[in-house]
Amino acid sequence: MLTLAFPWALILLPLPWLTWRFMPPWRDRTSALRVPFFRRVTEAARLTPKPGSVVLGRKPIQMIAAVMVWVLVVLGLARPEQLGEPIVITSSARDIVLALDISGSMDERDFRTPEGQPRQRLDAVKDVMAQFIAERDTDRMSLIIFGSRAFVQAPFTEDLDSLIGFLDQTVVGMAGPQTALGDAIGLAIRSFETSKVDQRLVILLSDGADTSSRMTPVNAASFAAQKGVTISTIGVGDPEASGEGWVDLAALEDIAKRTGGHYFFADDQAGLEQIYAQIDAQNPRETQTQSFRPRKSLAHIPLATALLLILISLIFLHPRSLQQHGGTRL
């Protein structure tokens, strides 16, 4: 499809005719003696006429070329463009923070694979999270890991392959042996400070009780609710354990409730996969769609054609070839 970027330039098309029709002609008054058959007389006398002794006329082809050049120049100014097929860009209107507990207790081998084989908690969680990340096309996601301290392992990105790479590099204990649950929530809230979308979701997975936070999980959850951040929590581990292996399921449930999120508990890999599917279903992705049509400028074509016509006119419409079509003067 062809279109014009500046169609208003076409109003210049009648300008030469308007100038010829309404502007007074330019005249140069000189004393001259008109001699019939001047060219033949000069040829017979073997004389060379001086400049100004010949009144040039216009060939029809000269007028046609001038009109064509003007039309092409105006068309070039209007900038014709070729429109391509519409391109639709869909971007997500939500940001997701994955907050992963990597304290020492995540090294326990009490998770079961679908085949019933025991597996380390963190390895099972990483596999399920990697699959969840891979299916979040167009979402912006961030990864926060926490133990004794909370750290941003990967900032918000749409490059989900690199995010999976950062997740693969995560190992038990790299953030300390304890559990800073409240600090992890606080860091997630700070991560959303640069977010420009309304749908903000934190998926927090932990297998322990808060033991080293500077901000309590309850206060952090209340602050998250004020900022419009939804937190869905997942508890893993042995709910009957005590001491260092105790899982504070009540705190995880309270965090989710305060922010309008959901609480889940998983004790095997299959159950964890179902939980991530439920979280995605309960927090449907909102998308923003933008469409545009690529434009390819074709202005160079009429301008180059006009230049070519001018060059042809200079070659084939030389003033000497016009002498025979006009009058002469002395």
How far is the CA of 240 from the CAs of 60, 124, 208, in angstroms? 103, 21, 12
Answer yes or no: do 171 and 198 share one domain: yes
Answer yes or no: do 210 and 301 share one domain: no
Query: In this structure, is residue 199 part of a structural domain?
Result: yes
Answer yes or no: do 205 and 57 share one domain: no
Answer yes or no: do 233 and 272 share one domain: yes
pLDDT tens string 292-325 = 788 899 999 999 999 998 888 887 765 554 444 4
Q: What is the pLDDT of residue 52?
A: 57
Answer yes or no: do 216 and 314 share one domain: no
pTM of the model: 0.63
Answer yes or no: do 124 and 186 share one domain: yes
Query: What is the extent of the structural domain holding 11?
Result: 2-23+30-84+296-325
Q: What angle do CA 309, 17, 302 make, to 5 degrees?
A: 30
Query: In this structure, is residue 235 part of a structural domain?
Result: yes
pLDDT-above-90 percentage for the chain: 41
What values do phi and psi take at 293, rounded to 5? -115, 120
Short-list 168, 158, 165, CA closest to 137: 158
Query: Average pLDDT for residues 211-237, to the nearest whole number?
Result: 91
Tokens of 277: 């599917």
Answer yes or no: do 167 and 231 share one domain: yes
Query: In this structure, is residue 182 part of a structural domain?
Result: yes
Amino acid at position 299, single letter: A
Answer yes or no: do 186 and 110 share one domain: yes
Answer yes or no: do 266 and 146 share one domain: yes
* Pairing state between β 150-157 and 140-146: antiparallel
Contacts of 306 (CB under 8 A, 6+ apart): 68, 69, 72, 73, 76
Answer yes or no: do 305 and 268 share one domain: no
Answer yes or no: do 114 and 252 share one domain: yes
Task: For residue 233, give the CATH number of its domain.
Answer: 3.40.50.410
Answer yes or no: do 278 and 249 share one domain: yes
Q: What is the pLDDT of residue 28?
A: 67
Query: In this structure, is residue 224 part of a structural domain?
Result: yes
* Residues 286 and 199: beta-carbon distance below 8 Å: yes
pLDDT tens string 92-138 = 668 899 999 998 888 888 788 778 788 888 999 999 999 999 988 77
Question: For the stretch 251-267, what's the b/e string if a residue is b when 16 or more beta carbons lie within 10 angstroms of its beta carbon?
Answer: bbbbbbebbebbbbbbe
Query: In this structure, is residue 330 part of a structural domain?
Result: no
Amino acid at position 5, single letter: A
Query: Average pLDDT for residues 15-25, to the nearest whole number?
Result: 86
Please report the DSSP string for 140-157 in residue order: EEEEEEESSSEEEEEEEE
Query: In this structure, is residue 282 part of a structural domain?
Result: yes
Q: What is the pLDDT of residue 322?
A: 45
Could you give the number of structural domains in the chain? 2
pLDDT over threshold 90, residue 166? yes
pLDDT over threshold 70, residue 242? no
